[in-house]
């Protein structure tokens, strides 16, 4: 009998689904690409035909200009070549999807990036039992356990209210994390205007066009120092220590990332208020998901593979790593 999943090939530049002649999240331009979500390390420009959710295609349009994309709705079933394919929510960012494929009686799920905790800006992860689960492992070490999002947002608001003469500058990934911080703050009754770095404007608008309400937002470029005192300012992580931040009123520098669990990382970036908020599954979410799906095999795409591989073996699940290149979740 053929090896399980022998119709799926792992290449450094991505996962190739042979009977559909399609690549998943390839790092190089391909004729046919299936894209899990809009982050730059998964969705790149220059492909021939792109299959992705409407939201992901819209994000790619913003980043790379108009795509020759075919939208697929969650749970819509398509047959491509000799493969039945559907996209189901991954709970990572707006429009993010796992790709579920069936071929000759074998079911394979490619998770893309995912998380299990609720996020008001996107649909919740849907568990699909399968024979092979191809998973990320960005935070695949037992040391990574993300706290409750609400308690991290409370720390942010508490710090903000402690000194109304300063602002709190939050470094947050421009796609997903920023909008999540905003909506989670609104859910905790913070309805003051939130200021944003110009680089986030189009993605904020895109989220709102898909019905994610962000409340009153203001561009930092149009505000005085005084106006921003006592307010939250959100910027991409790269802007935290750059010249741009000099226009802000004595900022308390915060950063929202799963990596903030590591004190040294916070120190390196001069982060005074580390917020452990991630759009990736932590160790418990990874292992809980594998337990729930009960796959025969787990293939690990990127991240810290070793510990998760070992965990799988001790739970009688065959596991291997795929050594794909080009995925980076450094600020997530």
Interface with Zn ion (CB under 5 A): 39, 41, 113, 327, 329
Nearer to Zn ion, 55 or 113 (CB): 113
Write down the least CB distance from residue 92 to Zn ion, Å.
6
Q: Determine if residue 307 is left, alpha or beta; phi over 0 gives left, psi from -120 to 50 gives alpha, anything else beta.
A: alpha
d(CA 31, CA 48): 4
d(CA 96, CA 104): 26
Write down the least CB distance from residue 329 to Zn ion, Å.
5
Neighbours of 20 (CB within 10 A): 23
Write down the least CB distance from residue 301 to Zn ion, Å.
9
Q: Are 282 and 139 in contact (CB under 8 A)?
A: yes
Write down the least CB distance from residue 330 to Zn ion, Å.
10
Nearer to Zn ion, 28 or 318 (CB): 28
Q: What is residue 20's three-state secondary structure?
A: helix
Nearer to Zn ion, 85 or 90 (CB): 90
d(CA 192, CA 268): 31
Specify which residues 11 forms β-bridges with.
14
Write down the least CB distance from residue 173 to Zn ion, Å.
8
User: Phi then psi for 158, rounded to 5 degrees?
Assistant: -60, -45
Nearer to Zn ion, 83 or 298 (CB): 298
DSSP assignment letter at 21: T
Nearer to Zn ion, 206 or 233 (CB): 206
Nearer to Zn ion, 220 or 278 (CB): 278
Write down the least CB distance from residue 332 to Zn ion, Å.
6
d(CA 212, CA 184): 12
d(CA 213, CA 180): 10
Nearer to Zn ion, 195 or 283 (CB): 283
Write down the least CB distance from residue 189 to Zn ion, Å.
29
Instruction: Show the CA angle centred on residue 261, arms to residues 182 and 242, nearest 5°.
Output: 60
Write down the least CB distance from residue 97 to Zn ion, Å.
11
d(CA 258, CA 280): 8
Neighbours of 53 (CB within 10 A): 25
3-state secondary structure 199-253: HHHHHHHHHHHCCCCCCCEEEHHHCCHHHHCCCEEEECHHHCCCHHHHHCCCCEE
Write down the least CB distance from residue 222 to Zn ion, Å.
30
* Pair type for strands 168-171 and 252-256: parallel
Nearer to Zn ion, 113 or 152 (CB): 113
Give me the DSSP letters along 263-283: HHHHHHTT-SEEE---SS--H
Nearer to Zn ion, 39 or 103 (CB): 39
């Amino acid at each position: 009998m053929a090896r399980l999943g022998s119709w799926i090939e792992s290449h450094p530049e991505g996962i190739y689904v042979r009977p559909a002649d399609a690549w998943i999240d390839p790092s190089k331009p391909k004729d046919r690409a299936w894209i899990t979500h809009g982050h730059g390390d998964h969705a790149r420009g220059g492909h021939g035909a792109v299959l992705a959710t409407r939201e992901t295609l819209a994000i790619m349009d913003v980043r790379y200009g108009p795509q020759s994309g075919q939208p697929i709705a969650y749970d819509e079933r398509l047959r491509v070549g000799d493969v039945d394919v559907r996209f189901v929510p991954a709970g990572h960012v707006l429009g993010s999807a796992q790709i579920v494929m069936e071929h000759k009686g074998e079911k394979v799920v490619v998770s893309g990036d995912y998380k299990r905790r609720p996020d008001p800006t996107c649909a919740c992860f849907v568990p699909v039992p399968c024979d092979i689960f191809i998973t990320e492992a960005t935070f695949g070490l037992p040391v990574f356990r993300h706290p409750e999002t609400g308690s991290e947002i409370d720390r942010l608001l508490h710090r903000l209210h402690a000194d109304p003469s300063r602002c709190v500058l939050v470094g947050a990934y421009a796609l997903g994390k920023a909008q999540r911080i905003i909506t989670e703050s609104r859910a905790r009754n913070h309805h003051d205007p939130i200021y944003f770095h110009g680089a986030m404007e189009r993605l904020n608008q895109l989220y709102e066009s898909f019905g994610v309400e962000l409340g009153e937002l203001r561009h930092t470029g149009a505000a005085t120092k005084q106006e921003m005192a006592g307010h939250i300012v959100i910027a991409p992580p790269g802007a935290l220590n750059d010249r741009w931040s000099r226009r802000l009123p004595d900022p308390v520098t915060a950063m929202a990332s799963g990596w903030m669990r590591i004190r040294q990382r916070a120190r390196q970036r001069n982060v005074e208020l580390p917020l452990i908020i991630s759009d990736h599954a932590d160790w418990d979410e990874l292992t809980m998901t594998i337990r729930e799906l009960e796959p025969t095999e787990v293939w690990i795409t990127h991240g810290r593979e070793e510990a998760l591989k070992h965990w799988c073996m001790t739970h009688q699940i065959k596991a291997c790593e795929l050594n794909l290149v080009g995925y980076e979740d450094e600020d997530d």
